[in-house]
Amino acid sequence: MPHAIITEQDLSKETVAPISSPRVLRLKHLIVNSYLVGERGAGAWAVVDAGLAPFCAARIIRAAETRFGRGVKPSAIVLTHGHFDHVGAIRQLVDYWRVPVYAHALELPYLTGQSSYPPPDPTVGGGLMARMAALYPRGPIDLRGHIQALPPDGVIPGMPGWRWIHTPGHSPGHVSFFRFSDRLLIAGDAFVTVKQESLLAVLTERQEISRPPAYFTPNWAAAQRSLQSLLALEPEAVATGHGIPMAGEAMRAQLRALVLNFAHRAVPAHGRYVRRPAVADESGVVSVPPPVPDTFPRAVTTGLALAAVAGLGITILSKRAKAGASRGQKRRNQTSVPTRKAGKA
């Protein structure tokens, strides 16, 4: 794990300090990440992205109260983009904290009830996560009264020392966040560190700098330009919307290889948006190309989706059982009293 990014397991080590180091807390919600950014006792802090579903709210709030203190609200909730798996708990978090939500101006139509995202393309990616994309919601949601555009000067409310960078392609108003002091990049889904189209790769969390999730990327030329701009920053560590954070020269080498070979390694061989992108403006989607032929039966897709959900559930329960057993063993070790061997009188 890169030193600039911590997990929930690290929180107990930080509670003894009045102010923590400026590390970012990663929260994994099944297949997607959200992040808590800020220092305890330093005032401003923010939530980046809001998880997969409403149930993620309780976990985000619990981690925030552990890290920053009970009753200490974030300055803002900041979205890399508004796809369903990044805004799942946004309403619950807004209702609980009553704080503003920020996104890029070109993302607002999908977050204010004006426009749905372009249809996903289940024919790209060649994996079960991609195949199930036909079943994924594409909005819009309505956060009017709570959401506003990010400031045009690149400043991010609640995240001092960071700047936002417009990185469209995966969505029209997708943004990434960069901290120049330690070159930490929160990239959202501009690229990810797991092959997100593959359920097996997602379940095993096999680390790999990979393209934005192909099934929800409607503009490949814009996605390529965005990756080029992020590579130019020479990040030291990356935290993405999907996958385990990565750091160092090995990470940069993989990112460089993806950018240099984008046409062959990232762009699908065929698909709805390969030759013609979706067109969007400040009002939302303007036009989309026609779908490509897909002979895969929808009933099979639904069955595979149910199997995938079951697989995710089994994996989660297994990990929780192992974690519980580990905590139980640790408590037993702490409370056990060594026995003295009987000696001669």
State whether 210 and 306 are in the same domain: no
Q: What is the pLDDT of residue 298?
A: 61
> What does the alpha-carbon distance between residue 141 and residue 71 come to, in Å, rounded to a whole number?
27
Compute mean pLDDT per 10 residues along the chain, 345 residues long, and list them: 77 51 88 93 90 97 93 96 98 98 98 98 91 92 97 96 98 98 97 95 94 98 98 97 96 98 96 97 98 73 57 51 52 45 38
> CATH number of the domain that 109 lies in?
3.60.15.10
State whether 165 and 64 are in the same domain. Answer: yes
Number of domains comprising the chain:
2
pTM, entire model: 0.86
173 and 246 together in one domain: yes
* Residue labelled with tokens 């990044």: 86
52 to each of 27, 70, 206, how far by Cα in Å? 11, 24, 20
**317/276 same-domain check:** no
- Is 273 found in the same domain as 193? yes
Residues 38 and 155 in one domain: yes
Contacts of 291 (CB under 8 A, 6+ apart): 119, 121, 272
Q: What is the pLDDT of residue 312?
A: 53
Domain hosting residue 314, numbered range:
296-326
Task: Specify the pLDDT at position 117.
Answer: 98
pLDDT at position 340 is 41
DSSP 142: B
pLDDT at residue 233 in the model: 98
